Structure 1
Amino acid sequence: TVGDLLVRAVPARHDGRRLPFGPHRAPALGYVVEGEGRTYFAGDTGLFDGMEKEVGPVDAALLPVGGWGPYLGPDHLDAGRAAEALARLAPATAVPVHYGTYWPIGMDGVRPHEFHTPGDEFVRLSALRAPGVAVHRLGHGESVRVGVAR
């Protein structure tokens, strides 16, 4: 608890190692922050069975969408898998996060769309898979005020 906020750790699906054969130092976690409303910060995760049960009902979901398509595997959400997570979680509002932040040397010249487009692609796919959710792709310095459903 932090003041009037309750912070609850929830499971995430992510290997978490920095090297392919490095040690597992800690479990992957996401967080649900409860105050006036409930917000799910997924952290770095893949889609997993029971995600909606582990997370519980939320008003807003901050979902990572920069999983480079199939390249990083099932422990990461790309725009499509994040839209599926959104359909399962069914919050009122969502914000795509964690994309365009890790630029391996040379990739920006070869596959720049992998870094620039995930937020827009998430907005597009979410409209198809979770049409009842208001998705806000925020630019630097922008914010959104989330309504409370309960």
Structure 2
Amino acid sequence: MGTDEPDRAPAVTWWGHSTTSIELGDVTVATDPLLTDRLYHLRRHAPAPPSHAARADVVLVSHLHHDHLHVPSLDSFGGAVPVVVPRGAPDVVRSLRGRVLVEVEPGDRVAVAGLDLEVLPAHHSGRRSTFERGGSVPAIGFRFTDGRTSCWYPGDTGLTGMTDIFDALEPVDLAAVPIGGWGPSLGDEHLDPEEAVEALARVGATWALAVHYGTFWPLWLKRLRPGNHHRLFVTPAQRFQRAMVQRRLTTTALTPEFGQRIELTPAGRA
């Protein structure tokens, strides 16, 4: 892609869960697109994404779990859009075959759609489900830049074994960091709001977009005690904002409404 619009401000739109559209000049990056209203026992607790949520120049897929690698959502982007996936993904998810795939693993650095893309490890299971193969396919994260604006999307990860990785990363302009999940126990393979702030403190970012929370609610949610209900599905954004203040980070925390587009101005460092 070219750089015909050098003065165009970068922007980000959160469509719910870990799905974003990150606009860097004339390149739009989509992360882990999940554009459906229903996923097994989960229901979208948000407006349905519009059709233009499936417009991008490149799609980044962090791991094989169905809420991150959702084949029907990928179909919405068309077959010509390159999709960056963990190495070995098409051997497990055969419906990926025939697409423009860029298979990567931690430590790789590739050029795609006008971006310099660095592939990072993640502390997270890569298995698609207990009934499918895929345990050897790594979960990954990404650091990428168009030469002007830099972004970090770690995918799903916990802090365990990752602090040295976070410390070694160059600070970024935009971090899209997960702060929650959908179940009553996140375990050590996810970040809760406070752990997300710890990760941000180690990496450094001008803006931090909270993702992976509050979008898909299980059908059995009404059986949760009210306290758990609010902590898991209602208050992660507020807890994230509060933890940012308590940690005294200079990073601007972004917790937009579903589908809200935010321009990142003034443009930061690349």
TM-score range, shorter chain: 0.7 to 0.9
- Structural RMSD (CA): 2.5
Do 2:182 and 2:217's aligned partners in 1 also have CA atoms closer than 8 Å? no
1:121 counterpart = 2:231? no
Q: In terms of Rg, which structure is larger? A: 2
**Alignment-mate amino acid for residue 117 of structure 1:** T
How far apart in 2 are the matches of 1:12 and 1:3? 23
Do 2:208 and 2:254's aligned partners in 1 also have CA atoms closer than 8 Å? yes
Equivalent position to 2:126, from 16, 21, 24: 16
- For residue 99 of structure 1, report the CA deviation from its aligned partner: 0.5
**Alignment-mate amino acid for residue 66 of structure 1:** G
How far apart in 2 are the matches of 1:130 and 1:60? 18
Equivalent position to 2:157, from 39, 45, 50: 45
Of all paired residues, the percent bearing the same amino acid is 35
Do 1:90 and 1:130's aligned partners in 2 also have CA atoms closer than 8 Å? no
1:148 counterpart = 2:268? yes
Assess, with a 3 A threshold, how the Cα gap between structure 1 residues 81 and 22 changes in structure 2: closer, same or farther: farther
After TM superposition, the structure 1 stretch with the greater mean CA deviation from structure 2, 32-41 or 124-133, is 124-133
TM-score for the superposition, normalised by structure 2: 0.50
> What is aligned with 2:138?
27
- For residue 37 of structure 1, report the CA deviation from its aligned partner: 0.9
Equivalent position to 2:253, from 127, 135, 140: 135
How far apart in 2 are the matches of 1:125 and 1:26? 33
Give the SS at the match of 2:208. strand
> What is aligned with 1:87?
201
How far apart in 2 are the matches of 1:44 and 1:26? 14
1:112 counterpart = 2:232? no
Assess, with a 3 A threshold, how the Cα gap between structure 1 residues 129 and 108 changes in structure 2: closer, same or farther: farther
Q: Residues 65-76 of structure 1 correspond to what in structure 2 (within 5 A)?
A: 65-67=179-181, 71-76=185-190
Do 1:10 and 1:54's aligned partners in 2 also have CA atoms closer than 8 Å? no
- For residue 92 of structure 1, report the CA deviation from its aligned partner: 0.9
How far apart in 2 are the matches of 1:67 and 1:51? 22
1:23-77 CA distance string (max 9 Å, x none): 5141110111201211001111112221324533211110001147982211100
**Matched length:** 150
Query: Could you say which structure has the higher strand fraction?
Result: 2
- For residue 82 of structure 1, report the CA deviation from its aligned partner: 0.4
Give the SS at the match of 2:217. coil
> What is aligned with 2:112?
2
**Alignment-mate amino acid for residue 19 of structure 1:** T
Assess, with a 3 A threshold, how the Cα gap between structure 1 residues 80 and 108 changes in structure 2: closer, same or farther: farther
How far apart in 2 are the matches of 1:21 and 1:141? 33
